[in-house]
Amino acid sequence: MFLNLTGVVLYTINWFLRRGNGALHTPRWGLVFGLEVVTFIALGISGWLGGRIAFEHKVGVVENADPEATEIGRRERSG
Helix (H), strand (E), coil (C) string for 8-49: HHHHHHHHHHHHHHCCCCCCCHHHHHHHHHHHHHHHHHHHHH
Q: pLDDT (tens digit, 9 = 90+) per residue, 2-43?
A: 999 999 999 999 999 888 887 788 888 888 899 999 999 999
* Number of domains the chain is built from: 1
pTM above 0.85, yes or no: no
Tell me which residue range forms the domain holding 46: 2-78
Predicted confidence at residue 62, as pLDDT, reads 73
Q: pLDDT (tens digit, 9 = 90+) per residue, 45-73?
A: 999 999 888 888 777 777 778 788 778 77
> Mean pLDDT, the chain, as a whole number?
85
